[in-house]
Chains A and B, each alone.
Chain A
Amino acid sequence: MGVLAALIPVLPLLGFLMLFLAGARLGARGIAVVGVGSVGIAAGMALGLTAWFLASPVPVEVSAWTWMTVDGFAPRIGFRLDALSLIMVLVVTVIGVLIHLYSAEFMAGDEGYARYFASMNLFVAAMLVLVLAADLLLLYLGWEGVGLCSYLLIGFWYRDPANGRAARKAFIVTRIGDTAFAIGLLLLFTHLDTTDIQALMGRAQGQWPAGAPLAVAAAALLLGGAIGKSAQLPLQTWLPDAMAGPTPVSALIHAATMVTAGIYLIARTHALFDLAPAVRDAVGAIGAATLVLAAFSALSQTDLKRILAYSTISQIGYMVLALGVGAWASAIFHLMTHAFFKALLFLAAGVVIQRLHEEHDIFRMGGLRQRLPLVFWAFLIGASSLAALPLVTAGFYSKDLILWRAWSAGPFGRALWAAGILGTFLTGLYIFRAVFVVFLGPVRTPPRGGIGPAVAVPLVVLSVLALIGGFVETPDFFGGVPALTDFLAPVFPGPPPPGDPGGEAAASIFAALVALAGVFAAYVAYCRRPAMVATILRHPAAEAMRRCWAAGWGFDWLYDRLLVRPLVATARAGRADVIDAGFDALAAFCRQSHAMLSRWQTGQVRWYAAWIGAGTILTVAISVLA
């Protein structure tokens, strides 16, 4: 049964190969069947595997083969199925199949239909390799594979140069993190002599004391990879631009799965981070800073997809914060619920945008509640879950757990908690701002067309998940079902957090009130007194602040001035300089040598024979003289 784990990534890969090689001959229907079916079967297998794993929760390792054996370097093509990878596989395949199904209708009629599904299938395959890999090198293969697919899908509509630019930006910025990850991988291998993740963690714990410089360096480098992939400060700038891709791509890759790969990486190598407390604190600080900054940016966007993009950065910030306080399981919990509600929000937003003739500006939308009721309810549920409205939404339970674990983690944790609370208020504010502006008020752009079952089913299923997905882990004062934490306990061993039901309940109630306050603020500002925002913005300082937030706190501007322009200027200045001259000389030397050697290929037998003779004499001479 465990062998199935190795087969799950193979199915989408086969789908990719079929679509890539024969996509043109399949016809639209065939493409959809292959594209959705391959992920669907993978999801079915994942569910079957879950049932089997729940019956006997013992980690399974499947080794397909050893790639090569050179001097103790023996990376395995092996997969490891444990509680953590199982949850990731479930998220990737179940949400994956829903989004593929949605895409079958959403992307219908696009000339790149086969290319779209081929890339999406390849993405799912790569993501599954990433989460199932037992070897860090194989994980890296999946890591680069998802990066490639992200690039291909952001630039899917490649005829518009802006999309190509966005794709390149995403690729290059994440590449900075990937490079750090690669160096970290090499560092771990050179010092611990293996790339097997379990063995690596074991040896790290055995050989390095807490705070050892090597452990700190390795953890910091892996963190670099994680923040690149997960769009955290200071490498977050690519994600808002990545919205250039089709909306289902944003839902799958840039909300539910790929961007959470960084969370998975840190959770998977958490033993290493335990050895580097300084890096772990940095993780928490990065998460807190990112979640607040991104929430402010989300508040000032007018493009519906960019609101969701900044919201994703902010929500991943919560997960990173959780990792920073060592609440590994709660980070994974929030990863899961976030995948549900953010995918839902994106899919709903995709319908809205498509029905309104590719209109992205929320202030040209409005009154869609009656026109698109199903989409309204889906978006409302997603927004409630994102805003963590108490008790009935999944987002509440996961965010609450993170905040509580931060609160219980000492003074530094309290500071992080304060940032999280501020973020909670902002989240309620920015997402309900979108809800009120888009769905209530007067109709500004009339929608056209309806939605078919392939779009409706994923919206309904994800709505249900976004509501009830949190009941796998409820706090002590409300049922007290720690199912997820217990399930993950073998992966994240450690003492249970100190129980304090009273304190937890108080903290929860406070957080819930803050979230509701955020929603209420949005209600006041965008329903009751729409003029209020304009009044505030008339003040130049407020307007300047809004611009700064809208531009993502000017990180793009800063990087442009700090990195891009100096680099380009240096390259321009250095166009004819000494360093280039060296390379040019090398090229010229090769070319000259080629020309000279080619001239000797005269085609005359006597010349060839003379060379054989000369070569023989030379050989003899070297032999005798050496």
Chain B
Amino acid sequence: MTGGDLTALLPFLVMGVAVPAVTLAAAFRRPALAASLAALGTVLAFAALWPAAGVVPRQVTPLLMIDGYALYFAGLMLAATLAVLLLSLGYLHRRPEPREAHSLLLLLAAFGAMAVAASDHFASFILGLETLSVALLGLIAYAHGRERPIEAGLKYLILAGFSSAILLFGIALLYLRCGSLSFAGIAFALGRAGSDPAILLAFALVIAGIGFKLSLVPFHMWAPDVYQGASAPVAGFIAVVSKGAVFALLLRLAHDTPLASGPGATVIQAIAVATILAGNLLALLQDNFKRLLAYSSIAHFGYLLLAVLAGGVLGAEAAAYYLAAYAVMTLGAFGVITQLSAGQAGDDIEQLSAYRGLMWRRPWLAAVLVLMLFALAGMPLTMGFFAKLTVLMAGIHGGWWPAVGALVAGSVIGLFYYLRVIALMAAGRPVEAVPEPTRWAGALVLAMLTGVLVWLGMAPAPLMALIRRATLGG
């Protein structure tokens, strides 16, 4: 391993040091220290992206491919993790459960997610994925003495195990045929030998396994239950970091191997159409806000599949921008729930009826939520608009008309349930705003997210330029 390899690995090495450090702090039951170390670790790892960006792309060990693309997603995961860490501070403040392990689990999950996004080998993919999943399991079932989080954790454990088995079976079949677990090796073997039914079966199983992680229809059913059971910041973390990392992997897999060509494309398009329509329809009259956001997240990953179908530079760019926009608006929405639910025991403020007249009671939080919902609905001058536009353009260029049609129809349905929440928040008589203690860490996160949402929505060029430099080669 050369010095360049080490520089490229630097963000991962920082995380590798931060995790045991936070473990120690947690072992000595020092929650504040654990949270500070975790935050410091993410910040340092983020800073380490710059030196790493100077030496990429390079293959570091057969397991990891550190390129601009991997670093872009690592940066996105780290920023999202930091946001969730800060949001959790105020959220956990008065809750009965011990706080120190929360930071540790978040950091560990982020580490796994970074590894997934950088892997071009099935071994590292599975390792990263399991690190991520096990840490998530702890986070989902984190709350003490309540039924729903435990139930959600159990559901996630069983179903994730089931889908991992399907995924591993598909990988085993690929190994059987190609004699390699690296994406390049598989592509090379397939290029020489051509396709056969076993390969088709293997790819179908891999798509099914990944489909579970991305909660694509019909593997989506766990999502609302788990989002509802998990705390609001953790739900945001699952929606952004866990799904984002697996999507980055899917995009790389589709780029390196013929996963999304031929029959695979038909499957993915069918899944995209089903996911967009079912996700939006399920959200339509939902009256639990966390479940609504879960369905909305399902639908958004349906839109993102258009980028996988389109492939090439256009698809990769669209996906990279979309995931950034999605991260901002999803974290913003869950962040508002977090802020509302902070400092109280029991379930989060998640029934939509509790949002009635929020604009009068908590004007600032309501304003942030309105912007986030507008962005999720794809309104211009927010990141959501440009994100949807790039994905749509990618779909149109590739001629994936059924999926494009579904995207348009889904956007119309989506408008209804996002606006429904906004209308609800504006309902009722104006009342005096209730003074609530401000949780500054969370408020700072929401202010930053809102600023980014509007700034990059009005002037997406800087982010697009960054993405162009980082994207997978055509």
**Interface residues of A, Cβ cutoff 8 Å to B:** 64-71, 77, 590-591, 593-594, 597-598, 600-601, 603, 605, 607-609, 611-612, 614-616, 618-620, 622-624, 626
Tell me the smallest distance from the CB of A11 to a CB of chain B, in Å.
18
Flag if A618 contacts B201 (CB, 8 Å): no
Interface string of B199-219 (1 = CB under 8 A from A): 011011101100110000111
Tell me the smallest distance from the CB of B213 to a CB of chain A, in Å.
12
Kindly list chain B residues whose C-beta atoms are within 8 Å of the C-beta of A616: 166, 204-205, 208
Using C-beta atoms within 8 Å of the partner chain, give the interface range for chain B: 35 or more
A594–B285 Cα gap in the complex (Å)?
7
Flag if B208 contacts A65 (CB, 8 Å): no
**Contact A611-B219, Cβ < 8 Å, known A71-B393, A605-B158, A620-B204:** yes
A593 contact from B159, B267, B270, B281, Cβ within 8 A: B281
Interface string of B242-259 (1 = CB under 8 A from A): 000000000000000000
Tell me the smallest distance from the CB of A185 to a CB of chain B, in Å.
15
**Contact A619-B458, Cβ < 8 Å, known A70-B389, A590-B413:** no
Kindly list chain A residues whose C-beta atoms are within 8 Å of the C-beta of B219: 611-612, 615
Is B460 engaged at the interface, CB distance under 8 Å to the other chain?
yes
Flag if A624 contacts B282 (CB, 8 Å): no
Is B431 engaged at the interface, CB distance under 8 Å to the other chain?
no
14 A-B residue contacts at CB 8 Å? A68-B461, A77-B458, A590-B284, A597-B282, A598-B282, A608-B159, A609-B162, A612-B208, A612-B218, A615-B208, A619-B208, A622-B263, A623-B263, A626-B266
Other A-B pairs beyond A68-B461, A591-B284, 14, CB < 8 Å:
A66-B461, A67-B459, A67-B460, A68-B460, A593-B277, A605-B155, A608-B159, A608-B222, A609-B158, A609-B159, A612-B212, A619-B204, A622-B270, A626-B267
Flag if B201 contacts A624 (CB, 8 Å): yes
Kindly list chain B residues whose C-beta atoms are within 8 Å of the C-beta of A614: 218
Is B197 engaged at the interface, CB distance under 8 Å to the other chain?
yes
Is B225 engaged at the interface, CB distance under 8 Å to the other chain?
yes
Kindly list chain B residues whose C-beta atoms are within 8 Å of the C-beta of A605: 154-155, 158-159
Is B278 engaged at the interface, CB distance under 8 Å to the other chain?
yes
Q: Which of B204, B221, B262, B459 has the most CB of A within 10 A?
A: B221
Q: Which of A70, A71, A594, A615 has the most CB of B within 10 A?
A: A615
Kindly list chain A residues whose C-beta atoms are within 8 Å of the C-beta of B285: 591, 594
Flag if A623 contacts B284 (CB, 8 Å): no
Tell me the smallest distance from the CB of B292 to a CB of chain A, in Å.
12
Is B163 engaged at the interface, CB distance under 8 Å to the other chain?
yes
Flag if B459 contacts A65 (CB, 8 Å): yes
Is B386 engaged at the interface, CB distance under 8 Å to the other chain?
yes
A601–B211 Cα gap in the complex (Å)?
17
Which residues, 253 to 311 on B, are CB-close (under 8 Å) to A? 262-264, 266-267, 270-271, 277-278, 281-282, 284-286
Is B224 engaged at the interface, CB distance under 8 Å to the other chain?
yes
A609–B218 Cα gap in the complex (Å)?
10
Tell me the smallest distance from the CB of A591 to a CB of chain B, in Å.
7
Identity of the chain A residue whose Cβ is nearest the Cβ of B224 in the assembled complex: A601
Tell me the smallest distance from the CB of A587 to a CB of chain B, in Å.
9
Interface string of B380-405 (1 = CB under 8 A from A): 00000010011001000000000000
Kindly list chain A residues whose C-beta atoms are within 8 Å of the C-beta of B413: 590
A598–B225 Cα gap in the complex (Å)?
12
Flag if A594 contacts B282 (CB, 8 Å): yes
Tell me the smallest distance from the CB of B308 to a CB of chain A, in Å.
15
Kindly list chain A residues whose C-beta atoms are within 8 Å of the C-beta of B461: 65-66, 68-69
Tell me the smallest distance from the CB of A612 to a CB of chain B, in Å.
5
Identity of the chain B residue whose Cβ is nearest the Cβ of A71 in the assembled complex: B393
Flag if A623 contacts B264 (CB, 8 Å): yes
A513–B222 Cα gap in the complex (Å)?
87
Tell me the smallest distance from the CB of B464 to a CB of chain A, in Å.
8
Please name the 6 residue pairs, one residue from A and one from B, whose CB atoms are nearest each other, closest first. Answer: A615-B218, A623-B204, A626-B266, A616-B208, A626-B263, A594-B284
Tell me the smallest distance from the CB of B320 to a CB of chain A, in Å.
15
Identity of the chain A residue whose Cβ is nearest the Cβ of B169 in the assembled complex: A616
Which residues, 329 to 362 on B, are CB-close (under 8 Å) to A? none
Interface string of B435-460 (1 = CB under 8 A from A): 00000000000000000000000111
B201 contact from A67, A608, A612, A623, Cβ within 8 A: A623
Identity of the chain B residue whose Cβ is nearest the Cβ of A595 in the assembled complex: B285
**Contact A612-B163, Cβ < 8 Å, known A68-B386, A594-B284, A619-B207:** yes
A69–B278 Cα gap in the complex (Å)?
32
Tell me the smallest distance from the CB of A604 to a CB of chain B, in Å.
9
Flag if B211 contacts A623 (CB, 8 Å): no
Kindly list chain A residues whose C-beta atoms are within 8 Å of the C-beta of B286: 598
Flag if B263 contacts A624 (CB, 8 Å): yes
Kindly list chain B residues whose C-beta atoms are within 8 Å of the C-beta of A77: 458-459
Kindly list chain A residues whose C-beta atoms are within 8 Å of the C-beta of B204: 616, 619-620, 622-624
Which residues, 143 to 195 on B, are CB-close (under 8 Å) to A? 154-155, 158-159, 162-163, 166
Kindly list chain A residues whose C-beta atoms are within 8 Å of the C-beta of B464: 69
Kindly list chain A residues whose C-beta atoms are within 8 Å of the C-beta of B218: 611-612, 614-615, 618
Kindly list chain B residues whose C-beta atoms are within 8 Å of the C-beta of A67: 458-460
A620–B221 Cα gap in the complex (Å)?
20
Flag if B282 contacts A601 (CB, 8 Å): yes
**Contact A603-B212, Cβ < 8 Å, known A68-B460, A594-B284:** no
Kindly list chain A residues whose C-beta atoms are within 8 Å of the C-beta of B270: 622
A162–B212 Cα gap in the complex (Å)?
57
Kindly list chain A residues whose C-beta atoms are within 8 Å of the C-beta of B221: 600-601, 607-608, 611-612
A607–B218 Cα gap in the complex (Å)?
12
Flag if B155 contacts A620 (CB, 8 Å): no
**Contact A603-B225, Cβ < 8 Å, known A69-B461, A597-B278, A623-B203:** yes
Kindly list chain B residues whose C-beta atoms are within 8 Å of the C-beta of A64: 459
Kindly list chain A residues whose C-beta atoms are within 8 Å of the C-beta of B222: 608
Tell me the smallest distance from the CB of A357 to a CB of chain B, in Å.
30
Kindly list chain A residues whose C-beta atoms are within 8 Å of the C-beta of B211: 615, 619
Identity of the chain B residue whose Cβ is nearest the Cβ of A616 in the assembled complex: B208
Tell me the smallest distance from the CB of A132 to a CB of chain B, in Å.
17
A590–B458 Cα gap in the complex (Å)?
33
A68–B204 Cα gap in the complex (Å)?
37
Kindly list chain B residues whose C-beta atoms are within 8 Å of the C-beta of A65: 459, 461
A622–B207 Cα gap in the complex (Å)?
12
Tell me the smallest distance from the CB of A118 to a CB of chain B, in Å.
15
Identity of the chain B residue whose Cβ is nearest the Cβ of A611 in the assembled complex: B218
A620 contact from B201, B262, B390, B460, Cβ within 8 A: B201
Kindly list chain B residues whose C-beta atoms are within 8 Å of the C-beta of A626: 262-263, 266-267
A607–B159 Cα gap in the complex (Å)?
11
A68–B321 Cα gap in the complex (Å)?
13
Flag if A68 contacts B389 (CB, 8 Å): yes
Identity of the chain B residue whose Cβ is nearest the Cβ of A64 in the assembled complex: B459
Identity of the chain A residue whose Cβ is nearest the Cβ of B284 in the assembled complex: A594
Tell me the smallest distance from the CB of B423 to a CB of chain A, in Å.
16
A600–B225 Cα gap in the complex (Å)?
12
Flag if B200 contacts A624 (CB, 8 Å): yes
Kindly list chain A residues whose C-beta atoms are within 8 Å of the C-beta of B155: 605, 608
Identity of the chain A residue whose Cβ is nearest the Cβ of B277 in the assembled complex: A593
Identity of the chain B residue whose Cβ is nearest the Cβ of A70 in the assembled complex: B393
Tell me the smallest distance from the CB of B420 to a CB of chain A, in Å.
12
Flag if A594 contacts B281 (CB, 8 Å): yes
Kindly list chain B residues whose C-beta atoms are within 8 Å of the C-beta of A620: 200-201, 204-205, 208
